[in-house]
Structure 1
Amino acid sequence: MKKFLIVLASIIGVLVLAVAIFLGVFAINEYKPEDVEKVDVENSQSGVLQAGTPLSILTFNVGYGALSADQDCYFDGGKTVIPESEDLVKKNLDGMSTILSREKADINFLQEVDRDAKRSYYIDELPIFQKATGQSSMFAPNFDVFYVPFNKGMGKVKAGIVTMTGYGVTSATRYQLPISFSWPISMVNLKRCLLETRIPIQGSDKELVLVNLHLEAYDSGEGKIAQTKQLMDLLSKEYKQGNYVIAGGDFNQTFEPVANSFPLTEDTKKNNKWAPGIINNSDLAEGFSFAVADNVATCRLDDHALDATTQLYIIDGFIVSNNVTVNEIKNLDEKFAYTDHNPVKMSFTLQQ
């Protein structure tokens, strides 16, 4: 009996040591961004921004090039983690690049841009989108893990959000958002952020402050609430300083003005599939309003390839300060051909 206990204790000791080493490796390699970090401006442009001139901005979650209409996704209840081929990813990237080139937006917000990830066959996607727009770009990482050990072996991921523009940029800053998951899951999960870009306005001491975002998706809800509050605090601070402010991207929440446009299906409700929360008008900082549309959905559930039964949502759009006039806002009907989101394009004017 004594010998058995010694053997059992040895086995337990080995297992504990193995777990400790396993967690230690991830702890050493964990991406730990500062709360505030400067972001480099690549391919810097020198366009001059003037108040009173019509402008355009587009937001597009590019789904790391892997979530075209014929694909599903493990996170949404599907089976796929790594798409079937590198050619599929390249085809999707080409298709989205064509959209960006066609739309010629003055400002582009992109989300889920992979730089070095197994799930997209290690293609650096940023240069592809840079070529499509010819604009300067700012990249803020929000998913940087040397190896994701679960989710059917997702492996290495380095990805983030990107802002691009042809106007001269004063500065760009990454703001860390509250992390929704506790240790040890937090070591191998997203570290979501806000990407702020500041553009000077000719003949004025005010700036156009742009905030690109991709808020939490798969938490119980508290994370999105905390992240939304930090967003509103930042927007309010900038508006009180007299700046023009636009925030946009993938909120992973729908918006009160369009909350009933694409109701949850009976299948979604019955099987407890993913459903977004709602950002209400009362959640907005004072002096701000939504700029969203419901002509078509902006996102689909990826539990299966797109068909007539697919759950649709509106979770992409903009929030603008009251000194920004929205001339038009439209969800572009790309039929989810290359990603599980449709782009949203807004034309606007900075009030003089």
Structure 2
Amino acid sequence: MIKKLLKFLLTIIIALVVLFAIYCAYVFISYHRIDDMTALEIENNSSKDVLEKDTSYTIASGNLGFGAYSDDYSFFMDGGTESWAFSKTAVYNNINGSIDVIKSLNPDLILLQEVDLNSTRSYHINEKDIILENLAKTGTDKISTTFSINYDSPFLMYPITQPHGKTLAGEFTISSVNISKAIRRSLPIEEGLSKLIDLDRCYAKNYIPVEGGVYLVLYNVHLSAYTTDPSTADNQVKMLNEDMLAEVEAGNYVIAGGDMNKDVLGDSTKYFGTSAKDQYWAVAFPEELLDSCFTVVKPVDPNNPVPSCRNADSPYNENSFVITIDGFIVSSNVEVSESNVVDTGFKYSDHNPIYMDFKLK
């Protein structure tokens, strides 16, 4: 009887080991990176073909948190409990809520990050379609758009109680002026096992015509936060800088915006009275790696500072760690008049939207 029991247990253990080996093989075989310099599909539906110089424009940016991060949400990778959005209804409410806030700014350009197309975590809802439907309802659908994939992952079997699953997500760029050309640039990422859990980091590079035969080169950016090797994050900024510099030297205007995943205020704790003691990722954005013709635009009102991001280790509360990691980078031929964060109380995402008013000189 004991021998039969031991044989049964051994069989179970061997089966589990084999299944685990098969799963590991699946993850490694499925892993791939999208080729650098991939041309992006452009959907043009605007009646405007050029931006004008010395004209005021507004650009907005927001990380939508795949439609999950309402203010009562916490995420398992940040130390919280959830791996999926609470429900399909929550996804629709959060995406539409975020877009309604951004639309209230009447932006000419919109940069969105963490927009899911077909992911387990967001019930396989195409969030790009939700956004387009929302814009169409208010007649603001005469736009040009591009979508850049930065997360096409194999099925993640963790946590066991509710596996995070497979993810297909990216960066959505929206312009009131038709985009002429768009390219996906692959950023440096971690090597080794770390590459399996990080995004396939990239930025979308959109060429928008400006009167006079030049372009506004608009970068939709989502940089890495958690890297075991600090040089990886620095190399991402160096690559972005070299790319932007080439466009400036070609006579173009440059704006980069999005989730920089670094403290764009330098030290957000001075503004928000929080401590970054246990937040090893909350380091200052390395402005020293940028050429002198670029400026990091810090979205903040010193008299009434509002953070752009909260830590999602627990539902949002007065003790939550907050920081501003969303911002813009502009070339010297772009004149900025204002930039700030919209205070939503993190109602729809773990990021508050940011905006910037500017002119092309």
Same fold (TM over 0.5): yes
Contact 1:289 1:320 in 2 (8 A): yes
Matched, 1:239 2:254: no
**CA deviation map 1:226-263 (0-9, x unaligned):** 11111111111111111100001000001255545346
* 1-structure distance, mates of 2:284, 2:107: 28
Corresponding residue for residue 194 of structure 1:
203
Deviation at 1:188? 5.0
Matched, 1:209 2:225: no
The match for 2:91 among 89, 92, 95 is: 89
Q: Which amino acid aligns with 1:190?
A: L
Corresponding residue for residue 100 of structure 1:
102
Contact 2:217 2:253 in 1 (8 A): yes
Distance 1:157 1:334, change over 3 A: same
Corresponding residue for residue 316 of structure 2:
306
Distance 1:305 1:238, change over 3 A: same
Q: How many residues align?
A: 339
Contact 1:274 1:301 in 2 (8 A): no
Matched, 1:225 2:234: yes
**CA deviation map 1:259-281 (0-9, x unaligned):** 45346745x52xx3454221243
The DSSP-based 3-state class of the residue aligned with 1:320 is strand
- Unpaired runs of 5+ in structure 1? 1-6
CA RMSD of aligned residues (A): 2.4
The DSSP-based 3-state class of the residue aligned with 1:255 is coil
Give 1:1-352 correspondences, 5 Å limit.
Answer: 21-47=22-48, 48-131=50-133, 132=135, 133-134=140-141, 135-152=143-160, 153-183=163-193, 185-187=194-196, 189-202=198-211, 204-220=212-228, 221-255=230-264, 259-262=268-271, 265-266=274-275, 269=277, 272-273=278-279, 275-294=281-300, 295-351=305-361
Q: Which amino acid aligns with 2:224?
A: E
Distance 1:237 1:259, change over 3 A: farther
Q: More displaced, 158-167 or 252-261? A: 252-261
Q: Which amino acid aligns with 2:328?
A: F
Distance 1:155 1:12, change over 3 A: closer
Contact 1:30 1:188 in 2 (8 A): no
Q: More displaced, 146-155 or 254-263? A: 254-263
Q: TM-score, normalised on structure 2?
A: 0.87
* 2-structure distance, mates of 1:107, 1:177: 23
Contact 1:174 1:196 in 2 (8 A): yes
Deviation at 1:345? 0.7
Contact 1:70 1:306 in 2 (8 A): yes
Q: Which amino acid aligns with 2:26?
A: V
* 2-structure distance, mates of 1:179, 1:280: 17
Contact 1:262 1:314 in 2 (8 A): no
Contact 1:236 1:286 in 2 (8 A): no
- Unpaired runs of 5+ in structure 2? 1-6
Q: More displaced, 323-332 or 15-24? A: 15-24
The DSSP-based 3-state class of the residue aligned with 2:130 is helix
Q: More displaced, 164-173 or 28-37? A: 28-37
Q: Which amino acid aligns with 1:126?
A: K
Q: Which amino acid aligns with 2:216?
A: L
Q: TM-score, normalised on structure 1?
A: 0.89
Distance 1:74 1:234, change over 3 A: same
**CA deviation map 1:269-328 (0-9, x unaligned):** 2xx345422124322222011111222100001111111101110100101000000011
The DSSP-based 3-state class of the residue aligned with 1:130 is helix
